[in-house]
Amino acid sequence: MEWVNAIIQGTLLGGLYALFAAGLSLIFGVMRLVNIAHGDLIVLAAYLGLSVIMTTGLHPLAAILIVIPMMAIIGYALQRGILNQTIGDDLLPPLLVTFGLSVIIQNGLLEAYTADPQKLNAGEIETASIAVGSISLGMLPLLTFTAAVVIIAGLQYVFYRTALGRAFRAVSDNQDIAQLMGLNKAHIFGLAMALALAVTAIAGMLLGMRTSFDPAVGGSRLIFGFEAVIIGGLGNLWGTLAGGVILGVAQNIGAQINPGYQLLAGHIAFLIILAFRPSGLFPRMSG
Amino acid sequence: MPDAILKIENLNAYYKDFQALYDLNLYAEEGEVLAIIGANGAGKTTLMRSISGLIANGNDQIIYRGNSIGAVKPNRIAELGIAMVPEGRQLFPSLSVEENLLIGGQVGRSGPWSLQRIFELFPILEERRAVASTSLSGGQQQMVAIGRALMSNPDLILFDEISLGLAPVIIKTIYEALPGIVSTGMSAVIVEQDITKALSVSSRVYCLQEGHVSLEGASASVSREEISRAYFGVE
């Protein structure tokens, strides 16, 4: 029963990893940009949430609704102001610039909020749980997993059923010809980053409610996000959810064997999948 | 000169670091079909990419309806009413046939062309509207590329090498559709390697050679000898 519990808790944790990964996957899919600062942007969202909660006294779940547009605006401005200038045939400039951005965000947060660990206090929901047989499911992990499923379904809908998604795919396919269709590449990229950071806002807030955070924890969130994306297969959003779940389950099984093995087990699962399926479990779907 | 929809004035354009067009001058009249012929490397595609904005040039080197557009961004030029059927078709592989057409209409210009009209012009596309654009034959892909350009209801449409790599019977079908397209009052510039085809559908012709205009005239009156001289540069 302990093992069943580990797998179920791992699955729910996987929802959070899928949320870390969804923004990463979306940005890479639309503009072939590998965003090294993604983890730090997740942490930035949590800190923005902290400030919103301290000034307004809102519950973290309500504060999400304010953090989402804040992060979306940051994303659009970041893309139009900085990142668009780095995008081209060469993958290296955006990599270097987002790495620099990562350093700047970390130090900016350190300056503004100090290195003290912080937490978003969600009150009763943090400890509430539902008992299913002998397994108890935490409300917050359940909520996180549900959010991941809903958000990924939503992104999938936007991508394949709306004019905006059509524009995303067209620009991703062929930037030159997409512009001949009257699409402003710089604007479309800005919208993609805004959407990605809106998802990041939710990921960051849920992270902050689940565990404590400090300005330096972005790096490991980035790794989890990357691993979920790669396990699932680049460019496949549902695959990203599966990747997150596999990572979460592997970590929890590792922890079940020995608490020290938690992170190691996740990385090993990632390496095994990479060794046997280099392009991920579900590479690029078409619809 | 009658009303010119497009004027190219002393255009110097570059393909990467290499100068492809030298002080080029030409014009297209409102409502006419203009043919541009020339050997590989004569600068035809560079000219098309310059007009559509994919290559930025001096702003005054390209005039569209009296406005300088040489340095205008391609998405703005599409809004102004210039559409291009690019060489090699270049459909969006992750979009279905119908989505490829719809995205052409996203510019939001009004006019006679709609999804329905495109399907009437090329009925096979209606049958295959939901499939991935990459699963079509070359000729069908060319129909999508033409339909995609028409969906923006352009005033000027550029055709870049639309017969390249297609079977003769398909080329015939596509050229048969042309008069119906331009009879709606649209102006067209056709770049073509098949000289006979180019002359048969156009009213005037320019021949390019190494980035210069080597021949200009009415399509009906230029002689074979003049063309081969202009084409190959031999006396």
Q: What is the pLDDT of residues A232-248, one digit of tens each?
A: 988 789 999 999 999 99
**A225 with A70: CB under 8 angstroms?**
no
CA distances (Å), origin B51, targets A50, B57, B153, B185, B233 = 52, 9, 17, 20, 25
pLDDT of residue B17 exceeding 70:
yes
Substitution target from B79, B84, B96, B103 for chain A, most A beta carbons within 10 A: B103
Tens of pLDDT along A192-229? 999 999 999 999 999 999 999 999 999 999 999 999 99
Quick one: which H or E segment has residue A136?
strand A135-138
pLDDT of residue B180 exceeding 90:
no
Inter-chain CB pairs, A–B, below 8 Å: 66
Q: Which tokens belong to B19?
A: 């100068």
Cβ contact, residue pair A166, B103, below 8 Å: yes
pLDDT of residue B182 exceeding 90:
no
Quick one: which H or E segment has residue A51?
helix A38-56
- Residues from B contacting A (CB-CB < 8 Å) are 52-54, 73-75, 78-79, 83-84, 86, 90, 92-95, 99, 102-104, 106-108, 132, 148, 152
| Exposed e or buried b per residue across B75-94, where buried means at least 16 C-beta atoms within 10 angstroms of its C-beta | bebbbbbbbbbbbebbbbeb
What confidence score (pLDDT) does residue A286 get?
Answer: 41
Cβ contact, residue pair B86, A181, below 8 Å: no
pLDDT of residue A231 exceeding 90:
yes
What confidence score (pLDDT) does residue A284 get?
Answer: 66
Q: Which tokens belong to B117?
A: 């009209």
A170, A172, A179 ranked by CB distance to B74: nearest:
A179
Q: Hunting for tokens 């006679």 — which residue is that?
A: B112
Give chain B positions within 8 Å (CB) of A178: 92, 103
Distance CA A176, CA A65 (A): 36
Tens of pLDDT along A13-36? 999 999 999 999 999 989 989 999
Predicted TM-score (pTM) of this structure? 0.92
A167, A174, A286 ranked by CB distance to B90: nearest:
A174
Separation of CA A202 from chain center: 9
Substitution target from A89, A156, A181, A188 for chain B, most B beta carbons within 10 A: A181
Distance CA A180, CA A166 (A): 14
Amino acid at B150: L
CA angle A53, A56, A60 (to 5 degrees): 30
ipTM of the complex: 0.91
Nearest C-alpha in B relative to A179: B75
CA distances (Å), origin A133, targets A4, A125, A137, A170 = 12, 20, 10, 49
What confidence score (pLDDT) does residue B2 get?
Answer: 56
Tens of pLDDT along A69-96? 999 999 999 999 999 999 988 889 999 9
pLDDT confidence band for B15 (50 / 70 / 90): confident
Asked if the C-beta of A170 comes within 8 angstroms of chain B's C-beta atoms, the answer is yes
Q: How far is A172 from chain B (nearest CA, A)?
A: 9
Tens of pLDDT along B85-132? 999 999 999 999 999 999 999 998 999 999 999 999 999 999 999 999
Residue A174: other Cβ atoms inside 10 A:
17
pLDDT confidence band for A287 (50 / 70 / 90): very low
What order of strands is seen across the sheet that includes strand B18-29? B18-29, B4-15, B62-64, B67-68
Mean pLDDT throughout B129-151? 95
What confidence score (pLDDT) does residue A1 get?
Answer: 79
Distance CA A189, CA A184 (A): 9
Tens of pLDDT along A141-169? 999 999 999 999 999 999 999 999 999 99
Mean pLDDT throughout A48-70? 97
Q: Hunting for tokens 């987002």 — which residue is that?
A: A98
B78, B99, B148 ranked by CB distance to A166: nearest:
B99
Tens of pLDDT along A92-123? 999 999 999 999 999 999 999 999 999 999 99
Cβ contact, residue pair A180, B54, below 8 Å: yes
